[in-house]
Amino acid sequence: MSTVVEQVWATLAHLTDPEIPVVTLRELGILRDVTETPDGVEVVITPTYTGCPAMGQIEDDVRGALDKAGIAARVITRLAPAWTTDWISAEGREKLRRYGIAPPGACADAQPIHLVARGITCPRCDSAQTERLSAFGSTACKSLYRCLSCREPFEHFKPI
């Protein structure tokens, strides 16, 4: 890895998701790649959902951090391959859980989209006795659940 690429990764390491500020873009798998090309440095980001309303802010945050560090780079939004919850790191999953969002399980390669999530564990008390209240939470990538044991509501990051 070149020094410039390492510098870009280090510069962007602190950037968090605007909708879930406890997890970084890299931990969520949104910050996909940094490469040095003959035309300069390219930073690739991928939205969790096509049309994700946070992507404009994410791109602005990446550009701002690079500008502040004096690094000239192009930011490219790449839709293929489509983002999958499998790209969330183990650290990111744990941060989601501690924040009160039940992290998604792994997706099967043959079926990356699951419309019904089963066995959602409460991130607050670890009870498996939960129920879905709504297919959509505060954003399209999450659904709303309630724990039947501790009675607390929580969001679940949908596996896709």
Question: What is the domain partition of the chain in residue ranges?
Answer: 3-83, 88-157
Q: Assign 3-state DSSP to the chain and report helix, strand, coil percentages, each to 5.
A: 25, 25, 50
Q: What is the pTM of this model?
A: 0.75
The Cα 74–Cα 62 span in angstroms is 10
CA distances to 66, 69, 91, 157 from 139, in Å: 27, 31, 21, 10
What is the residue-level pLDDT of the chain in tens, covering all 160 positions?
A: 679 999 999 999 999 999 999 999 999 999 999 999 888 899 999 999 888 889 999 999 999 999 999 999 999 999 999 999 999 999 999 999 999 999 987 765 434 444 444 579 999 999 999 999 998 888 888 899 999 999 999 999 888 7
Contacts of 19 (CB under 8 A, 6+ apart): 54, 138, 139
User: What's the CATH code, domain 3-83?
Assistant: 3.30.300.130
